[in-house]
Each structure stands twice: as C-alpha cells, then as structure tokens.
Structure 1
C-alpha cells in the first residue's frame, strides 16, 4: 500500500533563531519512499542534516526574523500489515542485554522511574514476564489516563501523568515506558505519523503521534516491538520519524529563541487505486 503524508508548520520569530528539526522519515524507512521527503522552507533558508545520537535525521536551520513555513508532502510504501504481535516473546535478564539497549532501562527526563518503581512492582509484579507483562502495562495505562488534547502539558512527567490521570499520546507513552523500565524491560519512545488507516476516521484534526517500543526475546532473537498505550490496538501504517529515551530526544522542532507556532497541519492518508497519477507536488528545498 501507499501512503501520502506530510505537514505544514508555520512559525513567527523575532529575529534570527537557530532551530533543529526531526521532521524526516527515519533512515530505516528511506528505501520505502516513492517521492522525496525533502523539507521546503518559505522563505528559503540554508539547511544542513546529520544523524543524531539516536540515529534520527536532524535538520538544522537559522530561521529569519518574521514568518517561516516548513513543509513536506511525499509518498511512502508500507506493508499494510498490523503492528507485529509476538505473545511468546520473553523478557531478557538485564545482564544478557546488548550494551546499546541498556540506556533504555534507565530513568530519563519524562520517565521518572524512581517515583514509580514501587507502584510498578505492586501493579505488575505478578503479571507474566515478557509480552504478557508489557500488555498488562499497556492495558493499565490505557485505562488509567484520559486523553484530552486541551490539557496537554509539555512539562508533565510519567509520575505526574499517573496521578493526574490525564494526558495526550506522549503522556500515555511516557507512563508505559517508565513502568516497563521499572520492571527491567527496556523501552524507548517513538514518534511519527499514524493515520486513520484500517480504523474509523477520527474527526479531530490530524496530529503527529507518539507510541513506544520494548526490547524482548522473540522467535528470531532480541528485537524491538511496537506498543501503543493510547490506542491499545495494533495499527497499520506507522511511519517513524524519531526514536529516543523520551520526548526530550524526539522533539520534532526545537528553537533556540522565541518561535511562536502559528499553523500546524498534518496529513496521512492511504492512496487508493495506484499512486503514479496521484503523486504529490514536491517543493524543492532551499540550497
């Protein structure tokens, strides 16, 4: 299947403002692109790219004073399959985990495991280890938090989400990640596109989404599996843009100075009946 996706973000700055952007498809999915996901800037600005410490493609610019619009519109091929399920996947003892996975056992800015450890063991200590324990955590978080976009809080930690019992997709992910880490299950944050493909259309405006991944021993060895505490169901068509310890590592835009968001539009739609004649117009990025 093919998915047409992209975004339009507009900012207002008071003067030259450095910005870092995690708005590109992760390198692992670049082979699936059927048109370029080049980032367009209006007015044009110079841009450079590099891979950050988590393997995300970071774009750096200096926004000029005044309005700036950042956009992309592209096609990507997807398997059309639901998130993989492996109920037999088992938990790996910390001593046997690969070195690169260990950081995802530790507390982080938004996943304050020190405040949730005893709660986690009280809640999930008797749950089956491995996949069953992760699913128990997802079920609990899904039912514990109430989704409310109007109550989004960029400073809310996992423990605060637990006690406030409200949040947006990042809060569902943070609380589930923190609980997994408390139970010695490596967990990392993921963010990207998740359109209403294979599910009823959500009347709310499309947004970027956040979910999480856990490292378990599956039939083919240790690997990362996708879970989504907000929706608590397997979904089709996730397109990852960034991964990290939590939202700190995965902020899609970061400004080093005042940059007021004035427009925010995201689209993610399945292209039905072929794609060549429906290819989007791709604006050229500034050199």
Structure 2
C-alpha cells in the first residue's frame, strides 16, 4: 500500500532558540520512500542532519525570533501487514545476549527499573518466559493505564504512569518497556506514524505514536501496549532507550507550540501534500 504521511508543526518564540528534531523517517525505511522526503520551513533557516548512535536522523536548526513552521510530506510503500506474532520466540539468557542489546536492559531517563523490579517480579515472576511473558506485560499495561491526551506531560516516567494509571501512548510504552527490562527482556522505545487505516473507525485526532520493541528469538519484535493488538502501517521515525533518545523535538530555550497537524492515510490519488 502507498501511504501518504507528513506534518505541519509551528513554534513561536521571542528570541532565537536552537532545536534538535527527530522528524525524518528512520533510515531503515528509506528504500520504501516513493517521493523525496524534504523538510521545509516557512522562514529560510539553515538546517542540517546527522545520524546518532541509534541510527536516527537528527535535524539541527535554530528557530528565529518570532517562530517557524516545519513541514514535510511524502509517500511511502508499506506492505501493510500486521505486526509479526511469534509465540514460539524464546527469551535468551542474559549471558547469551549480544553486547549491543545489553543497553536495553538498563534503567534510563523515563524507565526506572530500580523502582519497578519488585513489582514486576511479584506480578510476572511465575509467568512463562519469552513471548508469553511480554504479552502478559502488554495486557497488564493496556488494562492498567487509561488513555487520556489531557494527562500527557514531558516529565512523566514509567513509575508515574504506574502510580497515576493514565496517560498517552508514550506512557504505555515506557511502563511496558520498564517491566520487560525488570524481567530481563531487552526492550527499546519507538516513535513514528501510525494511521487508523486498519481499524473500523478513527481513533481521534491524528498524532505521532509510540510503541516498543523487544529482543526475543534473536531479533526485535514490535509490541504496542496502548492498542494491545497487531497493527498495520507503522512508519518508524526514531528509536532509543526511551523518549529522551527519540524526542520528536527538543528545544534549548523557551518556545510555544502554535500548530500541530499530522496526517497519515492511503495515497489513492498519488498526492503528497495534504
């Protein structure tokens, strides 16, 4: 399926503010792009990209005094198959994990394994290891947290989400990631586009989405604690230990978000712009 996706995001500020953004499709999906992926700004400002240690494309720019709008639109070819399900995928002993995977067992900014280890082992210590364990964690988080856009805040951690029992997709992901790590399953945070083309009715205002991946059976598998079902049409933008490594935008000074329009739908007419 050809999927049309993109965004128009505006910021205002009183003085120039540097920004770091993860607003590009992840390099692992570059071959699937059917149109150029270019970032446009409403004011002519210098922009350049680099690739970080997680393989994410990072964009650097400085928002001029008054503000700027960032826009991008593209078409990507997607197999539009559900997330793979592999009940037989086994959990490796820590001694057998690849060195590069060990990072995803450790505590991070939003995933406080030290505060949730006892909770995790109390709840899942007797669960079968591997896929069944991760699915049990996903089902728990899915039922434990109530989705509410109004409860989002940039400082909310996995522990906060566990205590408050409400939040947005990144909170579902952070809590599930933390519980997985507590149970010795490597887990990493992902963010990107996820439209509602595979569901019977719209899920609300279009936004970027967060999910996570776990290392089972010698590879990474996608899980989604908010939806708790295989989904179609994910377009990865960035991944890392948690949202601190994959923040859509990070500003180094005071700014106000003035516009936030995201779109993802089937490209029936071959259009790129909304």
TM-score in terms of structure 2 length: 0.98
Separation in 2, partners of 1:253, 1:203: 24
- SS state of the match for residue 50, structure 2? strand
The runs of 5 or more residues in structure 2 that have no matched partner are none
The Cα offsets for residues 63-110 of structure 1, whole Å up to 9 and x where unpaired, read as 111020001011000001000111100001111111110000001111
The range that moved more, 20-29 or 201-210, is 201-210
Q: What does 1:44-63 correspond to in 2, within 5 Å?
A: 44-63=44-63
1:195 aligns with 2:191: no
Residues 1:281 and 1:230: Cα distance change in structure 2 (over 3 Å): closer
- How far off its partner does 1:153 sit? 1.8
State the shift of 1:281 in Å: 4.5
Match of 1:244 in 2: 240
Residue pair 2:208, 2:262 contacting (<8 A) in 1 also: yes
The answer to whether the aligner puts 1:265 opposite 2:257 as a matched pair is no
Aligned twin of 1:163: 163
1:223 aligns with 2:215: no
Structure 2 distance, partners of 1:152, 1:181, is 23
Determine helix, strand or coil for the equivalent of 1:212. strand
Would you say how many aligned residue pairs link Structure 1 and Structure 2?
Answer: 274
Indicate the RMSD between aligned Cα atoms, in angstroms.
1.1
The answer to which of 127-136 and 156-165 deviates more is 156-165
Q: Which blocks of at least 5 consecutive residues in structure 1 are unaligned?
A: 283-287
* 1:255 counterpart = 2:247: no
Matches within 5 A, 1:26-37: 26-37=26-37
User: Is 195-204 or 102-111 further displaced after alignment?
Assistant: 195-204
